[in-house]
Amino acid sequence: MKAHLTRRYMFSASHRLHSDRMSAEENRATYGKCNNPYGHGHNYMVEVTVSGPVHNHTGMVCNLVDLDGFVHTHILQRYDHQNLNLLSEFAREVPTTENLSIAIYEIVKRGFHKAHLEKIRIEETMMNSFEYTGEGR
């Protein structure tokens, strides 16, 4: 039997939405308050959804200790209390939550092999959320 398992994690980070491909006016028009040169922050909530057969011996899709360990080491330690604009994945990409979803998806896909990665979903605030399932990679 195949099941999907989702775990929620939190981290806090700052960012500034600004694209070098646009003029100052275009940036302000596109990103509004998010273009403030000093940046601002969010409490991000990340949901990691993995799937796979429920193993007979454990009743689990994957051991949460393994998933938690991977996410803490490779996601939370990388992003928590950081300025996203200074990280290598955002040297050329604007750290929108769309791009953050893709970056986190890529890290989990590349490094976590104990279950199949289905989806990354991020809530930037209580009013908006973003999902990436690897489509269009």
Partner 1 sequence: MIYLTRKAEFSASHFYHNPEFTPEENQRVFGRCNNPNGHGHNYTLEVTVKGAVDPKSGFVVDLKQLKDVMSREVLDALDHRFLNKEVPEFFAMIPTTENLAIAIWQRLAPKLNAALLHRVRVYETPDLFVDFYGEA
Specify the amino acid at residue 49. Answer: T
Q: Which residues bind partner 1 (CB under 8 A)?
A: 1-9, 49, 54, 57-61, 63-65
Q: Is 2 exposed, middle or buried (0-12, 13-18, 19+ CB in 10 A)?
A: exposed
Q: Which is nearer to partner 1, 4 or 72 (CB)?
A: 4
Q: Which is nearer to partner 1, 72 or 110 (CB)?
A: 72
Residues with Cβ < 8 Å from 20, sequence gap 6 or more?
A: none
Q: Which is nearer to partner 1, 33 or 57 (CB)?
A: 57
Q: Which is nearer to partner 1, 9 or 105 (CB)?
A: 9
Beta carbon of residue 88, minimum distance to partner 1 (angstroms, whole number): 29
Report in angstroms the alpha-carbon separations of 87 from 78, 83, 84, 103.
9, 7, 5, 11
CB distance 16 to 39 below 8 Å: yes
Beta carbon of residue 50, minimum distance to partner 1 (angstroms, whole number): 10
Catalytic residues: 34, 81, 124
Beta carbon of residue 9, minimum distance to partner 1 (angstroms, whole number): 8
Pairing of strands 2-15, 82-83: parallel
Pairing of strands 116-125, 40-53: antiparallel
Beta carbon of residue 63, minimum distance to partner 1 (angstroms, whole number): 7
